[in-house]
Chains A and B, each alone.
Chain A
Amino acid sequence: MHLSDFSSRATSRVRLRFYNDRAGDISYIEYLRKILLHNTNLSIVVEEKPIDELQGDVKFLEDEAVLICSRHYSVNVPTTDRMRIVEV
């Protein structure tokens, strides 16, 4: 999944939310840097939330979303037609 996919679909805003079990750990920014710097077209918001809020958020999802998760991490979330799950 590339940000350009969103761009080509005329989406102007993308929210990247990190569910994390270590509050305040922003080391993920290191991995995001290239993506964020590559982007010049989309408005991007990066957020973080505790991992235990993931299930609730999925349940009340209003927008289209892609859940990217580690294949070494078992995620138990309700399925919804608004969300696609990608294992990496």
Chain B
Amino acid sequence: MSTEKIDIILTTDRTMMSNHHGKEFLGFMATGPPIGMPEELWMWIAAPKMRTDEHGRPWQAPYALRKLEALLLDNGYDAAVIDPDYVDRYLPNAKILMLSHHDYFALCPPSSEWWVVTKNEPVNARSFKRFMEKTAIREAKKNGLKIIVGGPSAWQWLYKIDLWSRWGVDTVVDGEGERIALDLVKKVFANEPLPRYVFVGPRDVPNIDEIPTIKYASINGLVEIMRGCPRGCKFCSVTLRKLRHIPLDMIEKEIRVNVSQGVVNGLLHSEDVLLYGAHGLNLNPDALIKLHELARRNLQEIAWSHASLAAIKDAEEKYRLISKIMEIVKSDGTQTYLGVEVGIETGSARLAKKIMPAKSLPYPTESWPEIVEDAFSIMHENNIIPAATLILGLPEETPEDLVQTAELIDKLRPYRSLIVPMFFVPMGVLKNKDWFTDVKVTNEHIEVMRRCLWHSIYWAEDIINKFYLNKPAAMPLRVLIKAFLKYVKWKGKMIERKLGLTPIETPAMPIAK
């Protein structure tokens, strides 16, 4: 093995260092264990290897690593994002190994749920463990390598002290890293001891002018348009951070970095894309139109990371904004749909009021189920395909809440979407609640889960055939995923029979609009 020199290696394991065939949603398969196929095949579908140059620098890399890389380069450090398959050649000469991950140990939803349901460890945690067990890392530790880990799942290390110690992780950073990362790197270069753990509080997050612009392509062209969220949902950690809107010129600069490196599609990232430029929760149609015109000018395909259902309804009812945005999105004649992740969380207005009182604004929380249905209808009419989440096991959840959630899922059947139920993991201000790995799954949970399953199966084939994997190049992937869906359908029916449940009707596939 030849060695090369970089002082600071930024990397992560394969499940994160992948563009998931250019289909961000396929990355969610990395949150599950391999089901009905060998792990290698599962990994190929969920997280194929990233193309690299001869130095092992990946074509695309996680946005957070790209931000850190830019910060370090701007400050004169010798740093680079390296593909996990190539780190061995750099480790003997490196001073610092910096890691980031969305879900190091598969404790976040939906990984934790697949783990509980299947009793098998998801591939993201397996892949990360394989990476950390590398002999080259162990050897480099003996020679003084410092390991700093961060990212949105940094809190999970507090539950994995044995591995923290075993792998010789020096510092865990929980929170936005721009300010603290430089301090830590300076300490390493000055041979000063590192802290064990750092939590970056809301008052220490960076201002816009402290956030660097990426220098190399991010995975699937992800570009941040906002940080933080004003809705204050109790289960969410993002909402704890100060709200910042990234200026349009900075967004365009990053999009152009991606496009110049061949990443021609883009994913606008925010906890609520429709709040871009908003004053509090009052939408700013002008800012949103400008944002999408900018994206249209530069990108082939546009996607959103997240949007809130109340904002979707508000945008359309007040300004016809969803229709206008989709006219812009489709104006080049090639893009036919837009994907987004949305949070239903519960069908119970009572529970919504307790855990997410601002999520329904500007509408009253009492009408939460109607808001959800209206937003789904608006998205369906405009070819926006949501992957929706539900949270099961929330504190103070009652069987009646779950019945209402099940009823809401039934009402959502006519609308093209995927619905994924997830077990509650205490994040945000609820993260001090006693966390469970021994989930008590009730009959009502099962009713909600199987409704989600059949809803998603009902729509998945339509989405795959007509939108998501409809191009000839996606044929192998399409065949594999359809085979997987057949397996899930068979398994689902088998489990229903075993539990003595009356099958939920699965009508014939509807004709897509």
Contacts and interface: CB of A to CB of B under 8 A. Distances in A.
Nearest to A18: B196
Residue from the set A12, A27, A38, A43 with the largest chain B CB neighbour count within 10 Å: A43
B161 A12 contact: no
B436 interface: no
Given A26-B161, A29-B158, A47 B200 contact: no
B203 A26 contact: no
A48 B432 contact: no
Interface in A4-49: 12-13, 24, 26-27, 29-30, 32-34, 36-49
Interface of A: 12-13, 24, 26-27, 29-30, 32-34, 36-49
Residue from the set A26, A33, A37, A45 with the largest chain B CB neighbour count within 10 Å: A37
Nearest to A47: B195
Interface of B: 155, 158-159, 161, 164-165, 175, 193, 195-204, 240, 426, 428-429, 431-432
A36 B204 contact: no
12 contacts: A12-B204, A26-B196, A29-B164, A29-B196, A33-B159, A34-B432, A39-B201, A42-B199, A43-B204, A44-B201, A45-B195, A45-B197
Contacts of A42: 199, 201
A47 B159 CA distance: 18
Q: Which 4 A-B pairs have the closest CB atoms?
A: A43-B201, A38-B432, A46-B197, A44-B199
Nearest to A35: B432
Residue from the set B155, B198, B201, B203 with the largest chain A CB neighbour count within 10 Å: B201
Contact of A36 (B195, B197, B428, B429): B197
Contacts of B197: 29, 32, 36, 44-46
A26 B158 contact: no
Interface residues of A, dominant DSSP:
mixed
Given A37-B431, A38-B432, A47-B196, 4 more contacts: A40-B240, A40-B429, A44-B201, A49-B193
Nearest to B164: A26
Contacts of B432: 34, 37-38
A43 B203 contact: yes
Nearest to A7: B201
Contacts of A36: 155, 158, 197, 199
A44 B195 CA distance: 10
A39 B200 CA distance: 11
Nearest to B158: A33
A84 to B, nearest CB: 23
A34 B195 CA distance: 19
Contacts of B431: 37-38, 40
A29 B203 CA distance: 24
Given A29-B161, A34-B432, A40-B428, A12 B201 contact: yes
Contacts of B199: 36, 39, 42-45
Residue from the set A12, A26, A30, A42 with the largest chain B CB neighbour count within 10 Å: A26
Nearest to B160: A29
Contacts of A39: 199, 201
A48 B240 contact: no
A42 B240 CA distance: 11
